[in-house]
Amino acid sequence: MLIDAAVESGAELREGFYVSEIVTEEGRVTGIRGRTPGGNTVVEKARIVIGADGNHSSVAVAADASRYNTRPSTAQGITDAFRDADLLCEALDEGFSGRRELKDSLADYQRRRDAADAGTVLMAEFFAPGNLARIVQARPGASAGGA
Ligand SMILES: Cc1cc2nc3c(=O)[nH]c(=O)nc-3n(C[C@H](O)[C@H](O)[C@H](O)COP(=O)(O)OP(=O)(O)OC[C@H]3O[C@@H](n4cnc5c(N)ncnc54)[C@H](O)[C@@H]3O)c2cc1C
């Protein structure tokens, strides 16, 4: 469904394509080198290269990107990925359309993404007896003595 929507919106889909190398120029990621399913080597350059290549992203390594979402909540990874993709699309649209400087909109994206991650509480921490007791104590009408 997502792939169909992306293609309908103008994205070019290349299934079975493998990125073998990240191309950098003067310390900046500017493209990729990869292999088609038929074994041909292809080089692509772009103004913006998005590392949507998962937890062990080679784009992030090449860009020396700062780590984020290092304490993900169980079963929330896909929600987080959609949220961040949405924020990034907004920032790129602002920059490409000229409504803002691209570097400013991307800096704002990073700030919003990191702020969203900062609110994450690990499940084990949330359900720790001390934390549950604190929540119960804080509920309206709870007496200082508990119960
Ligand atoms: C076992 C397991 C269970 C999980 N269960 C849940 C769950 O129940 N709910 C939940 O929300 N999250 C779950 N997650 C986490 C969730 O899968 C991830 O957080 C989410 O998929 C991250 O999305 P992403 O787009 O960043 O990366 P990914 O979904 O990992 O997508 C990255 C894509 O890049 C491609 N790629 C990488 N390197 C290359 C390359 N060199 N060339 C070409 N393509 C490349 C990969 O093939 C992949 O398709 C689970 C994860 C695991 C491992």
- Give me the mean pLDDT over the 27-49 stretch: 97
**CA of residue 129 to ligand 1 center, whole Å:** 32
User: Any idea which of 9-23, 98-112, 119-133 has the lowest mean pLDDT?
Assistant: 119-133
Looking at the fold, whether 8 and 33 belong to one and the same domain comes out as yes
pTM of the model: 0.84
| Cβ(2) – ligand 1 distance below 6 Å | no
Looking at the fold, whether 44 and 84 belong to one and the same domain comes out as no
Domain stops at, among 65, 91, 110: 65
- Tokens representing residue 101 in the block: 């400087």
Looking at the fold, whether 39 and 73 belong to one and the same domain comes out as no
Of the pLDDT bands very low, low, confident and very high (cuts 50, 70, 90), residue 145 is low
31/24 Cα distance (integer angstroms): 7
Element (H, E) at 28: strand 28-35
Looking at the fold, whether 52 and 96 belong to one and the same domain comes out as no
Q: Please report whether residue 23 resides in a domain.
A: yes
Residue from 13, 22, 53 whose mutation best tests the ligand 1 pocket (most atoms within 8 A of CB): 53
Looking at the fold, whether 84 and 32 belong to one and the same domain comes out as no
Any idea what the Cα angle at residue 108 is, between residues 104 and 114, rounded to 5°?
145
| Cβ(78) – ligand 1 distance below 6 Å | yes
Q: Are 62 and 24 in contact (CB under 8 A)?
A: yes
Per-residue pLDDT at 144: 57
Q: Are 19 and 34 in contact (CB under 8 A)?
A: yes
Q: In terms of residue numbers, what domain contains 14? A: 1-65
